[in-house]
Amino acid sequence: MLYTIVQDSNRYRSLVWDDAQITQLVGESDMELRIDMWNSPRTYKDVFDETLRVSFKPLSKQAEKLAIPDVSVLQGRLFLSLKAHSVLSNLIKPDGEFLKVNFDGGDGYIFTPLCVAEKLGGLDIQLSRKNEWGDLENLAFHEEKVKGCALFRCEYDMFMSLHCQQIVKDAIEKGGLKGVFFTTDLGNIFSNQFDGNIRDTN
């Protein structure tokens, strides 16, 4: 079974990059080096040689009541607290790279998945489709071709959603990690946000 990992933005705060630090490190001209603005599955080990600063500052009065997550999704990447890293690191490390981050609540990691479905022949082009405005209507994969990646993304939706195998969902739930839920409506990053009966990790 495949799932799309969805941020539970009703109960947990969103990660915010430190734009000033990133600008200082890479400048303003090369957008591809700006991890805060470029979500393609490229490596950043050759770009950042220091811990990146992030925050979970509330962006509205309502958000002040929300908690800081253990695990969160942002543009196809994962934020992992130290607890989440200890649960998931061995499982997902073959599929991408970790960058160290710190924030007001402590230290953590950003995981950039580098597995791409199309490179594995894993996108089902017969069942995946967009509407006339280019919005995603359906996303499907050949499961046997992506089974070697615990986490992966696809170019078809501009790498915006993050998909996982059953083993990742099970590890997050067994580890008691908070901040995301899962949907089989692949690619729908807004799935069930307003449904009181969402299948989440709480």
Contacts of 2 (CB under 8 A, 6+ apart): 141, 143, 146, 163, 164, 165, 166, 184, 186
Q: What's CA 192's distance to the chain center, in Å?
A: 17
Mean of all residue pLDDT scores within the chain: 90
Tell me the pLDDT tens digit for each residue of 24-37: 998 877 777 888 88
The structure tokens listed for 130 are 């967009």
Residue pLDDT, tens place only, 41-59: 999 988 888 899 999 988 7
Domain count of the fold of the chain: 1
Residue 151 lies in a domain: yes
| 174 falls within a domain | yes
Residue 22 domain flag: yes
pLDDT at 59: 77
* Burial of 95 per CB tally in 10 Å (0-12, 13-18, 19+): buried
pLDDT per residue over 165-194, tens digit each?
Answer: 999 999 999 999 999 999 999 988 876 554
Question: Would you say residue 25 lies in a domain?
Answer: yes
- The boundaries of the domain holding residue 166 are 2-183
What tokens were used for 181?
A: 């839920």
Per-residue tokens: 77: 């990447």
Model confidence at 109, pLDDT cuts 50, 70, 90, reads very high
